[in-house]
Amino acid sequence: MRFEYCLWFSGSCEVSCGPGTFPLIGPTWCSMRRQCCIRIITPPPVKTTATTTSRTTISTTTATTPTTTTTPTTTTTPTTTTTPTTTTTPTPTTNSRLSRCGMADRGREFELNSRIIGGREADKCELPWMVYISLPNGPCGGAVIDERHVLTAAHCFWGAGSYTPEIFIGEYNRTETNPTEKLSTRDYKIFMHPGYIHEYYFNDIAIVQLDTPIDLNKYRCITPLCLPSDDQTFPAGIDCVVAGWGVTEPEYDVFSPPIPQVLMKVTISVVQESLCKRKFGKYYNITTETCAGQMAGDKDSCDGDSGGPLMCRSGTGNEFYAAGIVSSGAGCAKPQTPAIYTDVISFLPWINSVIRSGV
């Protein structure tokens, strides 16, 4: 949901933000030189045990997660654990279509020349790991990474309290219902990274752990996205894809945002870290975040796309990897203004500790 306009977060336009609030960085949606001030909400009490109801359990601790510093420039995860990309996706025995992660159902080469803002509709089952998270203030996205876990952004669930958003796995067209292509559920637990800092959107990563594993052979449009290994790189200049159901225009009426019903996709490029640091300053953590966009400003993710994956290929393979997670930004599709993505590789040890916990 990339720095949603003021109303989405119940913000208010003020000359300056007072105690208990913080301003959105960069251009805001307030006129007369006012800032969009967002109220700081105290998160609900942490629940670390599984429940028998469908209510979401917020968990911010795991047995193998070290204490995280809140210093913006300090890495928050260890880097000594090597995670092979093949261990996170169970291999089906009866369907060769699901034998590899990160592959589309259609059986043909993915088009990287597509252009969410500046983008176009994806084809059905083209991105079969995409997840739609239904929230009161607008959607978030996510990505299936194995039969039981979905990768998304922590800020999508931050402050949710007792509310349990419905998630739609294998979603494509919001107006269609097809039980062989997608499923919906509220039966899951949420693991938010313990170092998440809402003011800066640092460590903006969460994992949805489903109570019931997905039968991958049952659903034609559900396939996991590959997790990268800790020795993979996605260098500046590489073309990647981001997708979601977020707004499709950079300027819009906040009371009637242009939200698509069909999954949209766009091709953008990874941006040099030095540019991101100059652009965002203290709001960019070079050790745990990455930037991507188009410098011309005509292509970008936007409000409602948060939590969705930044999908990149590595080497000569056709598999897509979760290189990043849509996190934050300053406006949408502005020239020389990329968006900030959580760097997935930086959080592999934490991701794998959650997966292994099997709570």
Give me the active site residues, please: 155, 204, 306
Coil, helix or strand at residue 291: strand
The residue to which tokens 């800032």 are assigned: 35
Look up residue 21 and give its two tokens. Answer: 């609030």
The residue to which tokens 């876990």 are assigned: 149
Q: How far apart are CA 210 and CA 212, in angstroms?
A: 5
**Beta partners for residue 342, in sequence order:** 289, 325
Torsion sign across C-alpha atoms 113, 104, 311, 258: positive
CA-based nearest residue to 354, from 63, 53, 52: 63
CB within 8 Å of 13: residues ≥ 6 apart: 6, 28, 30, 31, 32, 34, 35, 36, 37
Are the C-beta atoms of 325 and 286 separated by less than 8 Å? no
Cα 341–Cα 159–Cα 334 angle in degrees, nearest 5: 35
Coil, helix or strand at residue 169: strand
